[in-house]
Structures are given as structure tokens and as C-alpha cells.
Amino acid sequence: MDDATQPSTQPYTDPRRRGLNNSGLDQQDIADIICILHPGSIAAHTAVAATAKRSSQHILQQDDGLEYDTGDTFSVEPNRDIALRFSSEVKNLSSGFYFGRNTSRCDIVLSPDDSEKKISNTHFRIYLKPDGILMLEDISTNGTIVDDAQIRRDRKGGAPTTQMLVHGSIIQVIGNETSCGIKFIVRIPSRDEFQAQYNQNLVQYLNRIRQATKKPEGDQRRDVHDFIIPQQICNSHGMRWNGGSKYNVTGQIGKGAFATVYKLATKNDGALFACKELDKRRLMKNNVLDQKVDSEMRIMRDLEHVRLQFPYFSGFGKLITFEAKYRSIS
């Protein structure tokens, strides 16, 4: 009998055969995990092992029967990742997840012992903003690197203190030896059919934070509602402009006959903007722009609201982009 020459339509390695989605995660995890940190260096694998020994709830792979060394040395298992979950018990709910050297103050341990002095007791934290944007804040002495950009608590050299994290972001902490630094790659799972459940968990999580930080009296902040648009795997979402050096395109808000509104966030502080993109090809008649363009611009120009800003207007190529501050109007 001849060997099969065509690949199977559903390979036996397909995670869906094991009740998992395309990300290889089960239903509970896919709706619970905020992001995954994949170790990209030996020091990062050692950090994962140290965290698994002390707080296994932050490890993604918990059901494969593998055990970590409980002695003074750590066996490095290359198939382990850090998973930040809504359901995780953390040191400080309102602050997100702390990373560092001090086991009593940090959720994720970056060093198995006290010898790595370039890692601060609390080196950085990863957290979600009230609008669902994933951020990293440096709280260390020596700084953190995100996507080759220095992030520093002391703002040395004009460095920002925070940076937005997206799918594929690289987090680095330089150790005593440059070659032995910690490196994590951020992964944001594809939610697929579990997006609605993830959105619900996100809203509940943000409301738990709001309640935890609520002042006894006079707190006028409202609960987070279901209309929040969560950060998704970072891509253009159909937008021709990629956001440049200042913005990340994080989602699509709505679409009309000749325009699409996208959700953008600034890379340094995660501030949200809505960006309306007009497709000139749909507005051209005999190589002349339709009056709809003037009408659209006139409507935008006449908008007045305390929560609306118009930073700039730019035209490039076949597209016109108009940007306004993204906030709900009420």
C-alpha cells in the first residue's frame, strides 16, 4: 500500500482533538489568562522554575505531571511558561503582578536566590489599566527593557516609566552578566469563540480592582461596563496605518460605508484614542473627491465635548486619517 501523499485535514497534533482551542489552551484558561510570558533565555527559564516552586498558580502548564526540584538547585524545564490570570491570588490586586527578587513582595520570582543584585526586590509590575490596556511599569533601580526601549522609574535620560505590552513584546532585565539576562516574550492568546467569556471576566476583574481601591465615601467612579473593548492580539485590524512609533492599533470599534473607526493606544502610557480612517477610493468619482468627504470633515470639526480632542489631521496615500480622543460621550 502506497504511503499517503496528502496531509490530514485535521492532524493528530491538532489541539482541538484534545478539547483545546487553536492556542493549545482549554476553555477555562483561554477566558482566564491575561497574557503568557514565554522564557527566552536560560535565566528566564530559571525564573520560571523558581516561581513554580513557590507559586505554581502562575505557571501555565500545570497538568503534565512534571515536577520541579524542591532542593537548593532548580531543574530547568524548557516547556514551562508564566501565565498571568484574572483568577490568580496576588500580593496586591490593585497593582497587578509584581516581578522581582523578594519572594514575600513579588508574585513572580525573577531570581532563585539573593545573588543577582541587578534585579531589584520589586523590579517591575504588569497590570491592566481601567480600559483594559496591558502595561508594564518599572519600579527598579536599574531599569527594564521593553522592545529595546529603556523603561526607568527615575526617568533617567528621558526614559518613560511605563510601556504598553502587546503580543510579541520582549521584556528584558539585564543581570550581572549581560549574556545572562532575563528575557520574556509576551503572548496574548487568540480568544476565538471564547472572546465573550474573556470580556466578561475582564469586566469582573476590573470591577474587583475598583472595589478594592474604593474610598469609604465620596468615590464617584462607576463600575466598568460590558461595552469595554479589550486589547486583542496586536495587528492592524485592517487599518492601512500601523500606528507608527507612537501608537499601537488595538482593535476595531465600528465600520461604515466608507470609513472605519479603530481603537489606538499610545505605546508609552496606554492612553486611548479613536482613529477614523476614510477610504478615498470609495469617495472618488471621476478622480474627484465626493462631497461626502467635506461633509464628514465638517461634522468632525463641529464636534465639541470636554472628552474630545483633535490632536492632528493627516492625509497620506489613498487614505485620510482623523483622530479623536477615545472616551464615551455622556
Query: Residue 327 above 60 pLDDT?
Result: no
Report the C-alpha gap between 16 and 20 in whole angstroms: 5
Confirm or deny that 276 is annotated as ligand binding: yes
Band of pLDDT at residue 14, cut at 50, 70 and 90 = very low
Higher pLDDT, 301 or 186: 186
Q: How far is CA 140 from the centre of its chain?
A: 21
Query: Residue 69 above 80 pLDDT?
Result: no
CA distances (Å), origin 119, targets 28, 105, 107, 143, 144: 33, 13, 14, 9, 10
Q: What is the pLDDT of residues 80-108, one digit of tens each?
A: 899 999 999 999 999 999 999 999 999 99
Give the contacts of 40 (CB within 8 A, at least 6 positions apart): 170, 183, 184, 185
pTM of the complete model? 0.75
**Quick check: 143 and 119 in contact, CB under 8 A?**
no
Band of pLDDT at residue 160, cut at 50, 70 and 90 = very high
**Quick check: 19 and 26 in contact, CB under 8 A?**
yes
The string over 204-232, giving b where at least 16 C-beta atoms fall within 10 Å of a residue's C-beta and e elsewhere, is: ebbeebbeeeeeeeeeeeeebeeeeebbb
Report the C-alpha gap between 36 and 169 in whole angstroms: 11
Band of pLDDT at residue 37, cut at 50, 70 and 90 = very high
Q: What is the pLDDT of residues 280-303, one digit of tens each?
A: 777 777 777 677 677 777 777 777
CA distances (Å), origin 70, targets 51, 54, 221, 313: 12, 10, 46, 59
What structural domains and CATH numbers belong to the chain?
Answer: 19-187 (2.60.200.20), 235-330 (3.30.200.20)
